[in-house]
Amino acid sequence: MSATGIPATVLAETWRAQRADGTAGVLAIGTTNPANYVRQDEFADWYFRVTNSQHLTELQAKTKRICEKSGIEKRYFHHIEEAIADHPEILDRAVPSLGSRLRLAADAVPELAAAAARKAIAEWGRPATDITHLVLSTSSGAGSPGADLRLAALLGLDPSVQRTTLYLHGCSAGAAALRVAKDVAENNCGARVLVACADVFLAAFRAPEDKAADLGALVARTLWGDGAVADDDTAAATSPRAAGVESPIFHMVSASQATVPGTERAVGVEHGESGLDVNMSAELPRVVRTGAARPRRRRRRRLERPLLGGAPRRPRDPGQLRGRSRVEAREAGVQPPRAP
């Protein structure tokens, strides 16, 4: 008998009935970018022109070098130049502009997220009203009701959909949202979880400053853009509801997070009076070089061997080290992992 007076067997049966009968699986994926873009090889000239900073010639040359090494071809933006014309305070750190940025993002974020979500829902093949949970992650907003409520309305989700919003997870926003979605899907039988991540560059856009403290923010402004991604997740692939209609693209067998000790200030994003401030420590390359890669690899292999019947064969240059990530890793002293 439990402390509540309900027999333990009844509680256990209720718990089992509520849980799904498998691991979480991704059913569909959708992505989107705004129509407007700037070619990366033209970004430095464009950026210093629209911010009236062409007198900072050395900083402009440094920005060009970062762009050349980034591996990025195009940068997509929702409404940068229009926003600058209507809100010139965005360019000046000394002038408060957070309110203007948040109001612009309040419309842009759910619109981008909805465009990506519609693609995922269409690929999924079921009505949007079948979605039971919504997880939205963004670093471009702050408020309640937030972009999650607006997104649910744009998609026509059922009023009973369970909404969760994650703010300011930065580059780990997608991973954080998927961890939440996995737990929700596996602990709620029949759940269909829509995950959406959307951001707009406007949150951190401002004129460059010719000082060392702004270098991390300059790197971020040279790499970031606007866009959204969405997917549908479930952990009930064997249920009657899924039979013959839903087929997972892949399963999320494990999702975890680890913090490298002493790195609390290596990378940070926070809202200030002049918008989103991005801080990158000079220690970041060392953190990347000496991070907890080996423990993660050991945990991954413990999962892979029973699932695959042995150690998987790995390419010498896996996808996660392509493009910009490859450049950043090489500059930080990280070599592509070798096949075991």
Structure tokens at 161: 């959909």
Residue 44's pLDDT is: 94
8 A C-beta contact, residue 38 and residue 77:
yes
What is the structure's pLDDT at 329? 42
The reported pTM is: 0.80
> How far, in Å, CA of 143 to CA of 305, rounded?
44
Residue 304's pLDDT is what? 55
Neighbour count for residue 171 (Cβ, 10 Å) = 13
Domain covering 24-238 assigned CATH 3.40.47.10 in the classification: yes
Catalytic: 189? no
CA distance 98 to 110: 18
Which of left, alpha, beta for 88 (phi over 0: left; psi -120 to 50: alpha)? Answer: alpha
pLDDT reported for residue 212: 57
φ, ψ of residue 161 in degrees (nearest 5): -60, 140
Q: Can you list the residues of the chain whose pLDDT is less than 70? A: 1-5, 8, 10-12, 14-15, 17-18, 211-214, 235-245, 289-340
Cβ(235)–Cβ(185) below 8 Å: yes
DSSP string computed for 16-58: HHHS-SS-EEEEEEEEE--S-EEEHHHHHHHHHHHTT-TT-HH
* Domain extent listing, the chain: 24-238, 285-340
Catalytic member of 67, 171, 189, 197: 171
Whole-angstrom distance, CA of residue 154 vs CA of residue 115: 9
